[in-house]
Each structure stands twice: as structure tokens, then as C-alpha cells.
Amino acid sequence: MTLRNQTLFFEQFRRNFTQTGAIMPSSPALGQAASAHLARPRPPARILEAGAGTGSFTREIIPLLIPGDRLDVVEISSELTGFLQQRLIDEGLLRRSGVASAGLDIRLINADLLQFPFDTDYDFIIFSLPLTNFPPDMVAALLAIMMQHLRPGGVFSYVKYIFIGQFKYYLGGAQTRAKMDGNQAIIQDYARQYQFERSVVVANVPSTWVNYW
């Protein structure tokens, strides 16, 4: 992790915990787990990364792409989007999209997912937004949009940090607990309908569940 990456992440965390959620950038192990189904033998696909941050997942996803793939990377922060673009160029990852023979289509998009004009559905959605930080109506709207744009047979992977939610729940007031209870009810309803696999990544701070729907 570069000093610039770490500094920018903590600045975003300090200014907007609601959108950042984590206390440190995600580890390579977590990025690999979130994109595990993308790594399996498959035909060309359309992939959405929702909430790219400083690119911890993006840099694990791009090497898994095959000719014919399209990757849409959506990040709400303009500062993080600019940082991510330069990071991927510096690491030689974004240049692959400019090589015609590679047949890759990689798009970095600075947008709010709730207002994003989707022009396609996706075979894989890799989602790392901190749902437990959001109001229940926002959680419901985000998950509805994700499921609406997940193709039949597609895979939605969602990361959930272990322990952070519990700390917030027990240290927060009644309003915080009511919001988190509402969020959890929505998430569990989707999980009962769609979840087919779950893994845990301990090589991350904090340890994290990766849920596959």
C-alpha cells in the first residue's frame, strides 16, 4: 500500500465515513475473494464494480479479464475516481483497455449508483459499499438496482466487515440500532432469496465476510 493510497483513504474515511465504512484499504486477499467467481473459466462477461474507492479490488479484477469483457468501475467520489485512474495507469493496468488486440473495455465512472444511467445488465457485480452505514430506504434502493441489473445466472458478491457493525450497534443510541435493525432485515431478506455461498477473509483489517448471491 503506497503512502498516497493510505493517506487518501484515511482522509476520505475522516470526511465521509458513511461512504467509506472500512478503517483501512482492503487487502489483496479480500479483493481476490470478492472476485473469485470471475477467476473461474467463463465466456466474455460484463462486470460492475460498485464503490471502487482507491482501487484495492479493481487491481485484482483487471488481471482476471479476458478478451470481450467489459468492466464498469463506478465510484461516487471524484477525488477517488481521479486517484484510481492514475493509479491504474501507473501500475500498467489501465493501459490494457487501450490495446485493441486485448479486446477489453474498461470504464472508470464517477457517479452515484442511485442515479447512474445503466445501459446494460451484468454477469458479475462486485459490491463493496458499506450498506450498514446507510438509511434503510437507501439500502433497499441500492440492492433493488443491483438485482435488477444482475443477469440470470450472474453472481453478486457483497463484502461485510466483521465486528464493526456490532461495535456500532452496541455503542450507538436507539436511533442507530433501529436503523441498523432495518438495514439488516432488508439484507437478510435478499440473502434468504439469493445467497448460495459465503466465505470469510481473515487477512484483512477488519476480518470480512464475502457473500455471494
CATH 3.40.50.150 fits 3-212, yes or no: yes
Is the predicted pLDDT of residue 4 greater than 70, yes or no? no
SS3 of residue 18 by DSSP: helix
Question: Model's pTM, two decimal places?
Answer: 0.85
Q: What pLDDT band is residue 171 in, cutting at 50, 70 and 90? A: confident
* Mean pLDDT, range 68-83, rounded to an integer: 96
Angle, vertex CA 174, rays to CA 173 and CA 177, nearest 5: 90
Which one, of 71, 33, 46, lies nearest residue 158 by Cα? 33
Q: Which tens digit of pLDDT belongs to each residue from 124-144?
A: 999 999 898 899 999 999 999
Cβ atoms of residues 46 and 121 within 8 Å: yes
Helix (H, G, I), strand (E, B) or coil at 49: strand
The cell for 59 is 487491481
